Structure 1
Amino acid sequence: MIAWLDFADGEHRTACPACSRGKRDKTLGITIDAGKGVAHCFRCSFTETLRDDTSAMRRAPALVKPNPAKHETLSDYGRALWAACQPLIGTMGEQYLVHRRCVVPPGDLRFHPALPHKPSGTSGPALVGLVTDAKTGAPLTLHRTWITPTGKAQLDPPRMLLGNHRKQGGVIRLWPDEYVTHGLAIAEGTETALSLAHAYQPVWACIDAGNLAEMPVLAGVEVLVIAADNDPAGHAAARACASRWSAAGAAVRVTRQAANDLNDALCEVAA
């Protein structure tokens, strides 16, 4: 499904063949190295791999560099980066969230004034979310979004997770655990979650549809509110999550909107 010949060795971002919302959609990450390739969608978890003997590549065999082992918990680099970030209040991060009609959260979302963006070789202001295991709270990776005061930065891609880190089973705890009593709300993206927060708190961001679909049932949470993205992957993820939580005895509510997500709907109404 992926036209591998269109891409040179290296890292690329493009539209996902499974859940694309248009040519400007860049949720599919592609990495090609010496005749081997892997593609993964950060929204719907679509994957495709390419071996060096695949005829579509039409390349001479080459030695393949071993991939670094994936970190199961946040690396020392990630911990140092998180420690270097600032609280949101009084920063461009707060400006960005207010402009996007988002609630500014008290949890695991911070601001970095000059975060390196490796694909472009530049640095710029960014929101940084700490991704932790939904059940254990163990730090897993960092989710980074490069921003301006009024929108995402003109970088390709504007959002990235740390490479070679586990994200499966992870969430961004936008509200800390102590806020979670009998109820919890979840969404795929940070801005969607912080839009839902106008109506329901606490809220966590699941990063993508795959993580939302697999959100584990948490002991003591009797009510789950799901902010579903309005696309096939979003609907499927919400159904899978709702079914599992309902079977466990929780009351589940799923949002609906004509726009792609709640933040789009909120910004449209505000405009």
Structure 2
Amino acid sequence: MTIEADGKGVAHCFRCAFTESYRPDRGARQQAAPTPHIKALTTQKHEVLSNYGRELWSACTPLSGVAVAYLKARQCCIPPGDSDLRFHPALKHPTGHTGPALVGLITDARTCQPLSLHRTWIQDDGNKADVDPPRLLSGGHRKQGGVIRLWPDEAVTGGLGIAEGIETALSLAWAYAPVWACIDAGNLAAFPVLPGIEVLTIGADNDAAGAASAKLCAQHWAIADREVYISKQAENDLNDAIKEAA
């Protein structure tokens, strides 16, 4: 509240924005609080893969052409034909760009339930397409607890390799397969202990988040009496290391 020497005054509520002014010659005047503008929050809409996502996944094909050229140029191991990594020759990006893309099906690590899609726009020289960002997850979908099964469950008999990114996992596959990609450090840290897997090999990124997530994941598996190995390299990730050595 502000009161001036000539008797004028203003009362203002900073909580609800109600205002009342007073002038000796006019009396009190009230100004109602403005209607608050409520911004809609972006929330997760789909617990499982949406119909649109299923249609897009069905439109993808096994890796071929530009997809194989991209992976080979990145010195990546090519996953088997029944991998959850596929190819779309002309996928539209939100910027309007349309071009070839890798499409990964994200499934729940425990239940195999389809959750979302991971898309990477690519070029055959091993570089990502000139779009921002070149990688996208399906909007409004859950990715927590999900993985991209670069090798099918049937190939996982006693041991498994995991890494954050697709290219990192496919670099680890030269030395240890089958492999899955966990998408990011958070998912890798929370990767659950799965029955039937006695040995876990982690292709850790050489940064603070990567090291911390690998350590946490390894601790969970070690407590469960499983054998765990973590990669170490001078470069940021295994794909950087394998490209440097090529």
Q: TM-score range by the shorter chain?
A: 0.7 to 0.9
Query: Equivalent residues in 2 for 1:133-148 (5 A)?
Result: 133-148=108-123
Distance 1:69 1:249 in 2: 35
Tell me the equivalent position of 1:252.
228
SS at match of 1:130: strand
Tell me the equivalent position of 1:194.
170
SS at match of 1:152: coil
Tell me the equivalent position of 1:80.
55
Distance 2:107 2:143 in 1: 8
The gaps in structure 2 that reach 5 residues or longer are 1-34
Distance 2:214 2:44 in 1: 32
Tell me the equivalent position of 2:106.
131
Distance 2:70 2:43 in 1: 35
- Contact 2:97/2:131 (<8 A) preserved: no
Structure 1 counterpart of 2:118, one-letter code = H
Query: Equivalent residues in 2 for 1:130-209 (5 A)?
Result: 130-150=105-125, 151-209=127-185
- Contact 2:164/2:185 (<8 A) preserved: yes
Tell me the equivalent position of 2:71.
97
Tell me the equivalent position of 1:19.
none
**Identical-pair percentage:** 63
Tell me the equivalent position of 1:33.
none
Structure 2 counterpart of 1:133, one-letter code = D
Distance 1:69 1:231 in 2: 29
Distance 2:214 2:41 in 1: 36
Q: How many angstroms does 1:168 deviate by?
A: 0.1
TM normalised by structure 1 equals: 0.75
Query: Equivalent residues in 2 for 1:33-44 (5 A)?
Result: none
Larger radius of gyration: 2
Q: How many angstroms does 1:68 deviate by?
A: 5.5
Tell me the equivalent position of 2:16.
none
TM normalised by structure 2 equals: 0.83
Q: How many angstroms does 1:66 deviate by?
A: 5.0
The gaps in structure 1 that reach 5 residues or longer are 1-59
SS at match of 1:148: coil
Structure 1 counterpart of 2:70, one-letter code = Y
Distance 2:104 2:62 in 1: 11
1:217 counterpart = 2:193 = yes
Tell me the equivalent position of 1:55.
none
The alignment's C-alpha RMSD in Å is: 1.2
Size of the alignment, in residue pairs?
209
1:24-74, Cα deviation, whole Å (9 max, x unpaired): xxxxxxxxxxxxxxxxxxxxxxxxxxxxxxxxxxxx963323545520100
Q: How many angstroms does 1:116 deviate by?
A: 0.9
1:81-116, Cα deviation, whole Å (9 max, x unpaired): 000011103x21011001101011121000111111
Distance 2:63 2:228 in 1: 31
SS at match of 1:218: coil
Tell me the equivalent position of 1:236.
212
